[in-house]
Amino acid sequence: VWKIIRRIQREFLWGGRGGRKQINWVKWDVVCQPRSCGGLGVRDIRAVNISLLSKWRWRLLKDDHSLWKDVIREKYGNAVIGKVDLGEECKPWFSSSWWRDICSIGTNLDHNWFSEHVVRKMGNGEQTSFWEDIWVGEVSLRDHFPRLFSISMQKEASVASLRNLNDAVVWNFIWRRRLFVWEVTLLDELLLILNPITLSSVTDCWGWRPEKGEEFTVRSTYGLVLNLIIPRDAMPNEERLAFKAIWKGPTPSKVSGFAWMLLHDRVPTRVNLYKCRIIQEDGDQRCVFCGQCAETVTHLFLYCSGITQVWHRVCAWLGLHFLLPHSISSLLNFFATTPGCKQLRQGLVDEVKIASWKWWIGKSKASPCLFYEWNVEPEICLKR
Give long-range contacts, CB 8 A cutoff, 24+ apart: 346-353. 346/245, 346/248, 346/249, 347/249, 348/314, 348/318, 349/245, 349/246, 349/248, 349/249, 350/249, 350/250, 350/251, 351/314, 352/259, 353/246, 353/249, 353/251, 353/255, 353/256, 353/258, 353/259
Determine the Cα–Cα distance for residues 128 and 204; give it in Å rounded to an integer.
7
pTM assigned to the model: 0.77
List, for residues 276-297, the tens digit of each pLDDT value: 887 777 777 787 777 788 888 8
- Categorize the per-residue pLDDT at 373 as very low, low, confident or very high, splitting at 50, 70 and 90: low
Residue ranges per structural domain of the chain: 2-113+219-229, 118-208, 237-383
Instruction: List, as one string, the DSSP characters of 153-173.
Output: S-TT-BHHHHEEESSSEEE--
Question: Is pLDDT above 70 for 275?
Answer: yes
List, for residues 220-252, the tens digit of each pLDDT value: 999 999 988 888 777 888 888 888 888 888 888
